Structure 1
Amino acid sequence: MTKTFLTRRTTSAPTIAVRQRWHRPLLVVAAGMLLLSLVATGGLFLDDRVLVGAPIWLKPLKFAISFAIYATTLAWMLSLHNRARRTGWWMGILVAAALVVEMGLMVVQICIRGRQLHFNQSTPLDTNFTIVMAVTIYALWGATLVIAILAMVQRLGDRTTTLAIRLGLVITLIGLALGMLMVMPTAVQQAAIDAGQTLPIVGAHSVGVPDGGAGLPVVGWSTIGGDLRIPHFIGIHALQLLPLLALLMARSLRHLGERVRSRLIWVAAMTYAGSLALLTWQALRGQPLFQPDLATLEALGLLVLFAGTATALVIRGSRSDRTARA
């Protein structure tokens, strides 16, 4: 019996260690992106070139920071897997490779060649850059989808954390997919294409106005028209915000219990998804973020009313349960 016990203990210990190890290639990519962000920050001060109305190093800086956050988050999430770990590991490798290729294309095309990367079909080389970029984005989305599926079939900690990760991954996949709206021709571009013209640029971030106009500081979101980068950005970062909310609730609302905290995560996720839909609708109507019309404000009011009412009902229900048990 002693021999059997020792054998089981020996074989189970490495499994526990593997579960606690973060995905190292993703962490390496995250560290590289942080280093690149420092280089890009220096480039903002030392390189005065401008491309599509923005400093030439600004886009690499924003993407490097975003990629670092994304890679770190997935490295942590994959460490929680206790099933299909090899599949998850390879999906992490695919994400890491896609991020590196995408950033490499960005630095070469924008910072070295001084050419627009997204939507650019000016020359065969520019078109090839755009095609490779599209392939890496599809690969990134597909790998994230597999990671999300793996998250659906296993526990990733307590109930609240698991739910937050699952819902965060789903909303993130939607946010990533919203980027596909940007590669579609604008109304003006489509009219030119229908007339038989060959355009150097097909697609845009902005709606109703040309890219490169007045925008918010740093992020560059249009202040004179709609901007599809807004819902794209908000959707992607559900991957961090919902698990972070679960962590904060575990510390500050521990007395409510896991079931109540899970219900609150559902409310938060539904509110987040509603906000994503509202921002997408606003952008597609060519409306600046901080210039909402009455319809947008009415929809926002309904969303706030839902969030407040649902939260109050969950809290009230938890108090009733505690009273009944007492």
Structure 2
Amino acid sequence: MATIDLTRTLSRITSPTARDGTDRAPWHGPLLVNSTLMAALVLVSIVGMVVDDRLLLGESVWLKPAKFGLAFALYGVTLAWMLRLPHRGRRATWWLGTVFAITGVADVGFIAVQAARGTFSHFNGSADPVNVIGQQVFASGVPGLFLANLVLAVIISWQKLADRPTRVALKAGLWLAVTGMALGYLMAFTGPQLVRNADGTVVGLLAGHTVRPGDTARDAAAGMPITHWSTIGGDLRVPHFVGLHGIQVLLLLTVALVALAPRYRWLRTETTRAALLVVATLGYFGLLTLVTWQALSGQPLTSPDLATTGAGAALALLVAGGVTTVYLRAREAVST
């Protein structure tokens, strides 16, 4: 039975080269600068959480910049690595990566500025000049992030890039990110609410994260630790988060399967690992659909109803069945 050189496969994941044997492409500079700035913001925000006791919605004013900084740092490095892979349309993808890097810094920068001011960045209806300018930045920056990722996903979807499992992870991950970003727009339809700035003054938000009809202070109510996802209603940040980080989950799974392959013979072919990635991708899209449905139904992540629980169990069974099928076929191929 034909197998692949696992060492070579893992090296292709970490150090891709072009098909003609030329050196790999250079790292995408603007995306690396983006990730470096985001990592610095995380460190600044951690210090802020220690020395600054101001709160927004019961959490440190610096927690939100820390979460956004970490998310953008991870995603920026992922995109920068992906754009090193040999592919057609490199000039276009370079510019798309640059658009993402610039708009990301502008958007997250405003989040940090508002945190330092002790007020809200998203949906803030305040008429003060800094907030008005910042909302205009958001109004142009967020679509820029979304469209850059959408076009990148379209371009990359038609190309081979790397070995089959890695291709599945990258392409599916990009579309998961695009979907997660698109789901973020649903937050704009949750309705207005009244909350308090860090200094206690009341501010009106044009929308929020929590789906809880009729509650004009829903984002200020009970939330989970760290994430602050609502425990009294559906929270659209959950599907937003799940979608955005799917690419990292799938890439980590790809690396894990390669690492396990020397120990388990049935994992040693690209065909088997690619099939497992397809199962994982379908399961992950199923999970994204499930948590979106749960949020729109007004259910907290921590308190699913019977229908949601049943759908989750069915999804788990389908994924387990898919993995079992791939395993049995691979074992049969190994034994022949």
What secondary structure does 1:40 align onto? helix
CA distance in 2, matches of 1:13, 1:304: 39
Contact 2:190 / 2:209 at 8 angstroms: preserved in 1?
Answer: no
1:317 aligns with 2:326: no
Matched with 2:67 is 62
CA drift at 1:244 = 1.5
What secondary structure does 2:102 align onto? helix
What secondary structure does 1:172 align onto? helix
Q: Which moves more between the two structures, 263-272 or 309-318?
A: 309-318
Amino acid at match of 1:39: V
What secondary structure does 1:144 align onto? helix
CA distance in 1, matches of 2:87, 2:316: 38
Contact 1:54 / 1:212 at 8 angstroms: preserved in 2?
Answer: no
CA distance in 2, matches of 1:178, 1:82: 29
Give the length in aligned residue pairs: 301
Contact 2:190 / 2:210 at 8 angstroms: preserved in 1?
Answer: no
Q: In terms of Rg, which structure is larger?
A: 1
Matched with 1:282 is 294
Matched with 1:222 is 230
CA offsets per residue over residues 270-290 of structure 1, 9 Å max, x none? 100111111111111111111
TM-score normalised by length of structure 1? 0.87
Q: 1:14 to 1:303 in 2, by over 3 A?
A: closer
Greater helix content: 1
What secondary structure does 2:333 align onto? helix
Matched with 1:122 is 126
CA drift at 1:238 = 0.7
Cα RMSD of the aligned pairs, angstroms, is 2.1
Contact 1:141 / 1:176 at 8 angstroms: preserved in 2?
Answer: yes
CA distance in 1, matches of 2:331, 2:225: 45
What secondary structure does 2:229 align onto? coil
CA drift at 1:228 = 0.7
Amino acid at match of 1:218: I
CA distance in 1, matches of 2:49, 2:61: 8
1:180 aligns with 2:185: yes
CA offsets per residue over residues 183-213 of structure 1, 9 Å max, x none? 1143x77xxxxxxxxx932211111151122
CA distance in 1, matches of 2:86, 2:147: 18
Q: 1:283 to 1:224 in 2, by over 3 A?
A: same
Q: 1:266 to 1:173 in 2, by over 3 A?
A: same
Amino acid at match of 2:173: G
CA drift at 1:259 = 1.2
Structure 1 residues not aligned, in runs of 5+: 1-11, 190-198
Amino acid at match of 1:304: A
1:242 aligns with 2:250: yes
What secondary structure does 1:31 align onto? helix
Equivalent in 25, 30, 33 of residue 28 of structure 1: 33
> Could you say which structure has the greater relative contact order, defined with CA pairs below 8 angstroms and 6 or more residues apart?
2
Percent pairwise identity: 42
TM-score normalised by length of structure 2? 0.84
Q: Which moves more between the two structures, 144-153 or 34-43?
A: 144-153
